[in-house]
A and B are shown apart, each in its own frame.
Chain A
Amino acid sequence: MMDQGLTDASRPRISGLRSSKLCPSSILLPGILLSSCSGSHSPLDPAGPEASHVAHLFFVMLVGGVVIWIAVVAALVYASRKKNAHSEKAAGRVILWCGAILPTVLLCALLSYGMWLMPAIRPWLPDDQQVRRIEVTGEQFWWRVRYLDEAGEVMFETANEVRIPVGEPAHFSLKAADVIHSFWVPSLGGKMDMIPGRTNPLTLTADREGTYRGVCAEFCGESHALMAFTVRAVAAREHDAWLAARQASKPLDAEGLATFLNNGCGACHAIAGTAANGRIGPDLTAFGERGTLAAGTLPHTETDIARFIADPGEIKPGVKMPHFGMLPEDDIKKIAVFLKELK
């Protein structure tokens, strides 16, 4: 598996069919099996306890459904072969038992099983006992990510990529800035809606290191399908080092910064250690570390960054960033190189 979910094959204009390369069996039964592939965003390839419970629930339901389906079809075949072989009374008894009583008992059992799993699927701690807290706000069509300290104060902000330590529960406080979004990392657990005016809690734990893909799972506008993000699960020590590094803000000066600032990008984007402190768009501090561009829409390459700056609306319809196609090509390129190198 590549480090990132995005390869050239996932550029929007190229046929999505190419991604089925990931899983040969999907050629046979695309609908069902595509989702059964292992990968960075499959609920059937769980990477943590919450997701394992979801997968387990799915398989129990699947097996139960298949058994019931086979029994119903067998009864149907039997009935069509042996017409009038049984008395009406016997038929009435079959309807009572198999049509009413058995389904009631089975549904009761499945409902109880699902309910019994709930606490494991949605582990929950009171606010004051949560340690690693990350606030994620859904915005049309990207994710604002803020790391909170023990007191709940914002340590720093970033966007479209979430880092969590392996083996420790990460507590997400989920919010929405405009419309309803939904936060879903299939490999790590169930989804949780992000509702304007509310803060919804979600706890996820990653058991193994890796890069997982998350998506917006509630239609939120034209580019809803282009609103994804990356979760990187790294060793706890590495994570702590990263947190510390991100908080130590050092003044930054690089080739291209002036072009970035002069064209007004800083009014919407912030870069720590520079005069850019806009809050409207994604924070671009250490942008070069990210694996994808524009909320999982494009691969993170200079060409794609330049393409996005020139005409974001072409790539993400309805995007809240003006297009900068009128800038000299050299300037766009300079900014793209600057952003790509931003560590």
Chain B
Amino acid sequence: MKSVIPREVESLWTLFTAPTVWAIHFVVCYAAVAVYCAKAATFGFDFATVRLALAGFTVVALAVIVLSAYLAWRQWGFGSGDPPHDEATRKDRALFQGFATLLLSGLSFVAVVYVAIPLIFIAECQR
């Protein structure tokens, strides 16, 4: 793992990665189903295909979030120190950011799962 990922990719941007993935996943799921159901007749595939594609997309989104969580965990020193990390030092700032990113990744993971749950139960377009 360490050989593939650069030693220090962490910046303020990594903080936003997981919530951004959540937002994109949300929009893609809603837009895909809405557009498909409005224009089902003009597409050559059925709703099950849409659900399968979105399920695949969900797995990809979750994988990206897990990766972001791993990087955050690493930045946080793999849990070696306890919060609140509020010293005015470069080290504490990095630890704090790592911890915050880890929590946001957790939240985004759960949110993506919740957004995807209807794909399991809603089996058809209602028009």
Contacts and interface: CB of A to CB of B under 8 A. Distances in A.
A75 B127 CA distance: 48
Q: How large is the interface on B (under 10, 10 to 19, 20 to 34, 35 or more residues)?
A: 10 to 19
Nearest to A92: B82
Given A116-B121, A118-B121, A119-B121, A111 B114 contact: yes
Contact of B122 (A100, A104, A111, A118): A118
Contacts of B123: 119
A115 B117 contact: yes
Nearest to B114: A111
A122 interface: yes
B110 to A, nearest CB: 5
A269 to B, nearest CB: 34
B27 to A, nearest CB: 20
Nearest to B109: A104
A108 B124 CA distance: 22
Contact of A108 (B117, B126, B127): B117
Interface residues of A, number: 14
A107 B106 CA distance: 15
Contacts, number: 29
A7 interface: no
Given A108-B114, A111-B114, A122 B121 contact: no
Interface string B103-114: 000100010011
A112 interface: yes
Given A122-B126, A124-B126, A201-B126, A112 B110 contact: no
A104 B112 CA distance: 12
Contacts of A124: 124, 126
A115 B118 contact: yes
Nearest to A113: B121
A115 B121 contact: yes
Given A108-B114, A108-B117, A115 B122 contact: yes
B121 A108 contact: no
B51 to A, nearest CB: 13
B127 A201 contact: yes
B1 interface: no
Contacts of A119: 121-123
Interface of A: 100, 104, 107-108, 111-112, 115-116, 118-119, 122, 124, 127, 201
Interface of B: 106, 110, 113-114, 117-118, 120-124, 126-127
- When A and B form their complex, which 3 residue pairs have the shortest distance between CB atoms, in order from nearest? A115-B121, A124-B126, A116-B121
Given A108-B114, A112-B117, 17 more contacts: A104-B110, A107-B114, A111-B117, A112-B120, A112-B121, A115-B118, A115-B120, A116-B121, A118-B121, A118-B122, A119-B121, A119-B122, A119-B123, A122-B126, A124-B124, A124-B126, A201-B127
